[in-house]
Amino acid sequence: MSFIQMSRIFLRLPAFREKMFQRNSNCRSCLSGTVNSQADDKLFTKCSPAGRYQAVTAQNNELKVEIQRRRFSKRQKMAHSEDELRRPNDPLPPGAVLRLYSMRMCPYAQRARLVLAAKKVPYDRVNVDLNNKPDWFFDINFYGEVPVIIHNGKNIFESLICAEYLEEAFPEPKLYSSDVYQRALERIYFNHWTKKGIPAFYSLLKAGHLDLELAERLDQHIGKMEEFLKTASTPYFNGTKPGFSDYMIWPWFERIPMLGKITDYEMSSEKFPLLTVWVSQMWKDPVVQECKIDPELFIQHYIQYRTGRPDFTIGASKPKGIPEALENLDGLRDPATRDRQSKK
Ligand SMILES: N[C@@H](CCC(=O)N[C@@H](CS)C(=O)NCC(=O)O)C(=O)O
């Protein structure tokens, strides 16, 4: 065993170090510098050729601990990020009363988000990468689709059912009309849009260009919505303010200009004057503003959608590395070790 190896072993023994530091006021290696206490350990090891590597290693270790700590705190910070796939039974963040499984670009999930925002319900939003659904996701919705709500340990799915559940579970403010017939009418409006308008919207989107037949079909169903507004003779489908049916229909109308960017389709203000006003009024609603999607991301997403494999994590914050710390770590490596490695 060499002197260096032996001194390393002794240096690790606290009793030995204590004695040595008390007895010697100078660094044992270079005999300069004062070593008074354990706190000066670094000075000693810095001066000692044998100790230099130890000091560097100790600093490396400190740095590694720091990196781990940062990674951990990043995870902690991400703990309630909407992109971390929390399970249905995972605890809710403080204040949240339910969990919503969503996807940034999903108009169906947006229905639920609009109702939650209108009712100011604090919730935990989890965006699901629909290309990589975990098995348990099918346990909470056997269709494997978003939105899904987990409330009081129970799962609710299908956007219209979710929205109606929220309307009843969180009664204030009421989004449905209190009149029973009016409520039925509202259902007729969004039912028509769901049954006819939405498929027409997606058919054109999938075509990816202005297919006149498909554009005509979409126009026809938008025309029906225009008729409904005319019969209602109110600015909104719900009446004088945005309500349940407005929020159930809105997500696709928000996307019509984006559909236009892909297919050149335009919702004519001449053919649909009431709807044109409705759209501009809806944009003024703070709830709509809170839930709006990023148009650029949507266009990218739907260009991919046409190819059949969209990126469902679009818009997600991707965790960043910590390059500056890794750089330091590299810089602290013992030059001798580095040399030996590079010679190999
Ligand atoms: N009828 C469903 C439709 C929901 C739906 O189609 N959601 C899409 C995302 S926008 C989905 O989850 N698709 C599953 C997949 O693409 O794997 C509802 O109203 O909730």
Mean pLDDT (the chain) is 81
pLDDT for residue 275: 98
CB 301 within 8 A of CB 311: yes
Q: Is the CB of 311 under 6 A from ligand 1?
A: no
Side-chain half-sphere CA neighbours of 115 within 13 A: 28
**Residue 38 pLDDT grade (very low, low, confident, very high; cuts 50, 70, 90):** very low
Cα(95)–Cα(92) distance, integer angstroms: 8
Question: What is the 99 CA–ligand 1 centroid distance (Å)?
Answer: 17
40, pLDDT greater than 80: no
Whole-number pLDDT of residue 62: 65
Structural tokens at position 201? 């919207």
C-alpha distance across the termini of the chain, in Å: 25
Which residues lie across from 37 on neighbouring strands?
none
The 10 Å Cβ neighbour count of residue 102 is: 22
pTM for this structure? Answer: 0.72
Residue 90 CA to residue 308 CA, distance in Å, equals 32
Answer yes or no: is pLDDT of 252 > 90: yes
Active-site residue, 162 included: no
d(CA 197, CA 200): 5
- The arithmetic mean of pLDDT across residues 290-294, rounded, is 96
Q: From atom 1 of ligand 1, which residue's Cα is the shortest distance away?
A: 158
Q: Does residue 179 register a pLDDT over 80?
A: yes
Q: Show the tokens assigned to 88.
A: 């249905």
- Residue whose CB lies within 8 A of the most ligand 1 atoms, among 129, 146, 297, for a mutation test: 146
pLDDT of residue 311: 82
